Amino acid sequence: RRALGSLGKSRAKFISAEERTGITFDDFAGQEYIKRELQEIVRILKNDEEFQDKGIYCPKGVLLHGPPGTGKTLLAKAIAGEAGLPFFAANGTDFVEMFVGVAASRVKDLFASARSFAPSIIFIDEIDAIGSKRGGPDIGGGGAEREQGLLQILTEMDGFKVSTAQVLVIGATNRLDILDPALLRKGRFDKIIRVGLPSKDGRFAILKVHARNKFFRSEEEKEVLLQEIAELTEDFTGAELQNILNEAGILTARKDLDYIGREELLEALKRQKGTFETGQEDSTEIPDELRLRLAYREAAVAILACYFPDPYRPFIETDINSIRSQPNMSYTETSGKVFFRKSDYINSIVRACAPRVIEEEMFGIDNLCWISAKATLEASRLAEFLILQTGMTAFGKAYYKNQSDLVPNLAVKLEALRDEYMRYAVEKCSSVLREYHSAVETITDILLERGQIKAEEIWDIYKKAPLIVQPAVNPVDEYGALIYAGRWGIHGITLPGRVTFAPGNAGFSTF
């Protein structure tokens, strides 16, 4: 085998080559099933002949897809590391240049380099930059160029003989939906693995991996602290979790402390949250009007969380110290034992409307701002999921992956039903917020004064609030009505002034 150093530099500026990545599966934490799948591939790569005798071949291509920062690159390097193979990496965006013919020739270069060191691994990050659907809208130009590059990838992959020395191609993307279907056909990227956001246990495991080289007072304290951070970081990626630990390390050093403590970790977490969307290092300087809007938003989200508690994610606290387009409310995640009923799905749509409804209520429809913009998106997404993928609504029992699966008349039906759900959700949400208006104001005041509020206090205010009776809100479809009747019947939640289902009546009535 040639030494990797012999790779011509000028020829391959866009390729980064490593003889040994030194990364193993131990470096990737959480989502154990992904490792199990990939371990199998590594076994085949290592014992090529033995498996071939049994007629088992390594897949030619593995496609890892999922949000940025979830460890796709890390996994690709781990495959190379575990199999002890050289690793050739390039980025899809590097192939697309303004000069005609560059894309195809760069693809050729990449494959030629990898082949001369076979068995080896090719990694193409952001493969969507070159491998998006042909004939689609030409976003950003360079369409013909991209097409050439894509065709070249297909040619190269088809050119490998399955039975000869292997080059395994690993692609990564966060836009599986725009990839050209030709790439996903048998004999190309025939193994597709989703790398998703980590669960609570996954986050704990990832934090532990990145805490390996950090100092804590004791093993026990480390476990407790990391467990707490794992609970507070729903929707965080592995990369963000790694940042939290690094940041905590820096803060610890800045304060001249020997060990990372709770305070540093929580501070680092706040910073990480704050930089999510504002991109600001430090978001203490929030203008007054924005603070007021944030406080109302968080108060509304909190009231809805009490009114329709989420069995899967009880909330812990909220604050107005960072500006995001999504609520700042933090949740814990209960694992196991929970199952979703239709009413839970519907309630989640109602809850999701809170930021948008309260802004309109308090500031007026012509005076909305971006901090509630994502709420509408989230609510329609949840409604669409319930209608298309659960078979629980009047839409029917079939499963549809997404809207584009629908024939035109079904698309019309979806729109009508989604509108129905959205109408119900918005009306219900504003009815709850009006009913609990005084509690919303109390929580808002506390947030403005102290910047944050804990679940216990929110529950206390919610339970003691004087209610303002609201007219009934009509349910969505006949299934919706029945489910509500069942749930409320079981729990006997028929507080005075609350909307409830009266048997024999066409819908809801007020006690």
Residues that bind ligand ADP (CB under 6 A): 28-30, 68-74, 172, 206, 209, 238-239, 242
Please report how close the Cβ of residue 226 comes to ligand ADP at its closest, in angstroms.
13
Compute the chain's Rg from CA coordinates.
27
Residue 345 CB partners (closer than 8 Å, separation 6+): 382, 385, 386, 390, 392
State which residue, 192 or 239, has the beta carbon closest to ligand ADP: 239
- Rounded (5°) CA angle 396-400-405: 115
Cα–Cα dist 449/453, whole Å: 10
Whether residue 355 is preceded by a cis peptide bond, meaning omega within 30 degrees of 0, is no
- Which residue's Cβ has the minimum distance to ligand ADP? 238
State which residue, 75 or 461, has the beta carbon closest to ligand ADP: 75
Which positions are annotated as active-site residues? Answer: 298
Cα–Cα dist 394/380, whole Å: 17
State which residue, 30 or 142, has the beta carbon closest to ligand ADP: 30
State which residue, 25 or 462, has the beta carbon closest to ligand ADP: 25
- Rounded (5°) CA angle 110-116-120: 75
Please report how close the Cβ of residue 126 comes to ligand ADP at its closest, in angstroms.
9
State which residue, 250 or 257, has the beta carbon closest to ligand ADP: 250
Q: Write out the DSSP string of 37-76.
A: HHHHHHHHHHTHHHHHHTT----SEEEEESSTTSSHHHHH
State which residue, 97 or 201, has the beta carbon closest to ligand ADP: 201
Please report how close the Cβ of residue 273 comes to ligand ADP at its closest, in angstroms.
17
Query: CA–CA distance from 136 to each of 21, 147, 148, 178 (Å)?
Result: 37, 11, 15, 9
First-last CA distance in the chain: 82
Tokens describing residue 463: 């339970």
Please report how close the Cβ of residue 282 comes to ligand ADP at its closest, in angstroms.
23
Please report how close the Cβ of residue 219 comes to ligand ADP at its closest, in angstroms.
20
* CB neighbour class for 441 (10 Å; exposed up to 12, middle 13-18, buried from 19): middle
314 phi-psi bin (left φ>0, alpha ψ -120 to 50, beta other): beta
State which residue, 113 or 242, has the beta carbon closest to ligand ADP: 242
Strand-pair partners of 452: 319
Please report how close the Cβ of residue 205 comes to ligand ADP at its closest, in angstroms.
7
How many CA atoms lie within 13 Å of 312's alpha carbon, on the beta-carbon side?
12
Please report how close the Cβ of residue 46 comes to ligand ADP at its closest, in angstroms.
23
Residue with tokens 């707490």: 228
Cα–Cα dist 393/480, whole Å: 8
